[in-house]
Structure formats: C-alpha cells, structure tokens
Amino acid sequence: LRLGILASGRGSNLQAIMDACQNGFIPGEVIIVISDKPGAFALERAKQAGIPVHCLEPKSFDSKELYEGAIADLLAGSEVELVCLAGYMRLVGSTLLEAFQGRIMNIHPALLPSFPGLHGQRDALEYGVKLSGCTVHFVDEGIDTGPIILQAAVPVLDDDTEETLASRILEQEHLLYPQAIKLFAQGRIKVQGRRVKVKAQE
Ligand code: GRF
C-alpha cells in the first residue's frame, strides 16, 4: 500500500507508521510526507528514513482550494493510495476530500465522539472521565466526525496531568494507527454508513 502522510509537528505517529512499514507489520510503504509547517520535526524524521518530503505553506497560496489542490497533485503524482493525517493541524477541505474520497484517515487523542478538536486530552481530564484513549477514523468534512475504524482505551488516573495522560494515550496511538493502516492494506475495512466493519482474515 502506498502511503502519503500529512504532519504538522513532532511526527511520533509518522515514526510509528514508518517503523511498522519497515518491519513488515504494515504491508506498505510511506512514499511521501507533506507538512504545512517548515520547522516540523516530522520532516526530519522522514528525511532520516530517506522518504521524500515537501513543505507547503497555506499562506503561499491564494486559497484553500489551491493549497489543497497542490497537496492532492503531489499525493496523486506519487500514486498514493491512502492518506494518513498524523498530527496535521488543519481541517481538511473539500478539494482534498474529493480527491481522496474514503481514503483519508486521522488519529485523535480521545474516545470520539467525546472531546473532538485540538485539546482532546485536556478536555477529557477537565470533564472528569475515568477512561479516555484514542480513535482512528476516516476523515469527513467535520472536526473529528468521520466513521470510526479502531479505538483503544486507557485509564485516567487521579494524579494525571494533561502531559501524563497525553503520554499514556500516545503509547496506544503508536500501536493503533499501524493496526488500522494494516487492516486497510489488507482490504479488510468495510464502511456501511457510519459503521466500519472489519472483515475476518482470509
Ligand atoms: C497526536 O496526539 C495525535 O493524536 C494528534 O496530534 C498528535 C500528533 O503527535 N492528532 P505526533 O506529531 O504524531 O507526535
């Protein structure tokens, strides 16, 4: 499976995905990494692994359509089959959604539909839930609203801070995202309306 990754920051999920491809867990390859932030450490990680990187800043384009059109062209030019958002801090618009319909995944650090948005860990902590976790889902036009593929739960402990909870969740993210990508690569994911079903292995 040919993977394209969009990332804005640290890139630890990108690293987990590259590692899972490298060690054969995912039958696929990261073909291209694109960032909207020139300083993103994700770009360094990709370069380190010998993967082509591109940085496209929205401010260099006259509109979101043109910005996303350029991203879609890069992805299509590399014959990407699945796009994975890994800490990509922008809302995906119709241009990219239409170019890769049903083929964009995201990981979110909370158990959706609870606590969507930029501060999943903090919001869960402040709300007082006793379980949180992470969610891999397909991307649609909403904020963290697309069909849910996989989830993993972790406990919220009394002495947690945003940082300790985030790192407990992150550990699970690094396992969950490669699993979801593997299922997609194996052709085992079936979407029926909002429900994503995983076919048994043949
Ligand atoms: C992760 O917590 C992910 O769930 C969220 O953004 C963070 C990205 O971290 N969408 P990293 O850049 O993959 O290290």
35-93 residue pLDDT tens: 999 999 999 999 999 999 999 999 999 999 999 999 999 999 999 999 999 999 999 99
For residue 41, give the ligand 1 atom closest to its CA. 12
For residue 147, give the nearest of 90, 192, 201, 116 by alpha carbon.
Answer: 192
Q: Any idea where the domains of the chain sit in the sequence?
A: 2-190
CATH topology of domain 2-190: Rossmann fold (3.40.50)
CB-defined site of ligand 1, < 6 Å: 7, 9-14, 86-87, 107-109, 170, 173
ipTM of the complex: 0.99
Tell me the chain's radius of gyration from C-alpha atoms: 16
111-162 residue pLDDT tens: 999 999 999 999 999 999 999 999 999 999 999 999 999 999 999 999 999 9
* Site to substitute for ligand 1 among 33, 90, 170, 172, most atoms within 8 A of C-beta: 170
> Quick check: pTM over 0.90?
yes
- DSSP for 166-182 reads HHHHHHHHHHHHHHHHH
d(CA 202, ligand 1 centre) in Å: 32
